[in-house]
Chains A and B, each alone.
Chain A
Amino acid sequence: MKIRVLFFAQLREIFNASEKDFEVKEGTTIQGFVDELKNQGYEQLGKISLSYAINESWTKAGETLKSGDQLALLPPVAGG
């Protein structure tokens, strides 16, 4: 199934993109997806304390991804 992943801040620079589509297997969790990215050469992700949002709402790493989800990988925020 296909999901869309959104990148912000340093992640835009790591992936050289603001968003990207990925094919993932049914039952994949966010944590599983991120671990897969690390194995595919994006090991820098391991150095960033990530939070996650699906379809614009905060969620947990254990959440299972669904087809069409828009997953945002969120580094520590620093507004204000």
Chain B
Amino acid sequence: MYLTKNAISVPEFLSVTPHSSCGALATFVGIVRDHDHGQKVEKLFYDCYEPMAEKQLCAIVEQTKTQCKVNEIRLLHRIGWMEVGETAVVIAVTSAHREEAFAACREVIEAIKKIVPIWKKQIYHNGKSDWVVCQH
């Protein structure tokens, strides 16, 4: 399962010991920030087409593992309501060398933003809200 409605603990997520053949662990952590396009963000809601998103995330992980020749890719994406400062997504890639790990980590987050059916609603301090359209 790549989706969770619970708070993500990054230290806990990263506590897995990499395989002894791996010399690199690259991570990406996406955090809810307090502003967007000049507006103060109070909180976020991630809507999701869960069964399809799980399939898409699985496909992204498998394709990226093959394409970037890395040992393991782990990821967790939170859905539902989130406050500023909370972790929205965490990705950890292990590989023999750093280049593949960095490349795979970037590949996964960019793919998530483009093809996984997850939508973000931002609630602003002024009470207004809107559904975010990513510029990809």
| Chain A interface (Cβ < 8 Å from any Cβ of B) | 6, 8-10, 12, 53, 56-58, 72, 74-80
Q: Are the C-beta atoms of A79 and B116 separated by less than 8 Å?
A: yes
- Tell me if B's interface is mostly helix, strand, loop or mixed: mixed
- Jot down 9 A-B pairs with beta carbons below 8 A, ordered by A: A9-B131, A10-B119, A53-B52, A56-B51, A56-B55, A72-B117, A76-B133, A80-B88, A80-B113
Interface residue from A9, A58, A77, A79 paired with B121 (Cβ < 8 Å): A9
A-B contacts, CB under 8 A, total: 68
Which residues of chain B (55-104) have a CB below 8 Å from chain A? 55, 77, 88-89
| Chain B interface (Cβ < 8 Å from any Cβ of A) | 30, 46-49, 51-53, 55, 77, 88-89, 109, 112-121, 131-134
Distance of A20 Cα from B75 Cα, bound (Å): 32
Distance of A77 Cα from B133 Cα, bound (Å): 7
Given contacts A8-B119, A9-B121, A77-B118, contact A72 B47 (CB under 8 A): no
Give every chain B residue within 8 A of A77 (Cβ-Cβ): 113-119, 134
